[in-house]
Amino acid sequence: METKQINLKIQKNLLKAAQSYVENFGYRNIQDLATESMREKIFDKNQFDETFTREEIELIDIIISKTLKNKEFISEKELFKSLK
C-alpha cells in the first residue's frame, strides 16, 4: 500500500498527552498512535465504506485536497443536500 507523509500541528498539551500514551501503551511512536486512531475512527465505526474502488477513492482524495486548499468547507447537511 502506498503511503504519504503529512505534517500535523497539535497543541502542546495534546502532544504531551500523546507522548505519555505512546509510552504507557507500547506504541513505537506518535505516528503509530495517530495512524491507529484514524483507522479506528474511520473504519471501525463504519463511517467509511470500504467498498469504494481505487478510482473512487482517488477521486474522493482529490475532492478533499481541493476543498482543503480552497477552504471551501460546508456543513454535513449542506453536503447531503447537494448530493441529492
How confident is the model over 20-68, as pLDDT tens digits? 999 999 999 999 999 999 888 887 766 555 677 788 888 888 888 888 7
pLDDT at 27: 92
- Contact predicate 9/17, CB 8 Å: no
What are phi and psi for residue 52, nearest 5 degrees? -65, 145
The pLDDT of residue 18 is above 60: yes
Phi-psi map region of 38: left, alpha, beta (phi>0 left; psi -120 to 50 alpha): alpha
| Grid cell locating 12 | 502542546
Would you list the domain boundaries of the chain? 10-48, 52-84
pTM for this prediction: 0.51
| Grid cell locating 15 | 502532544
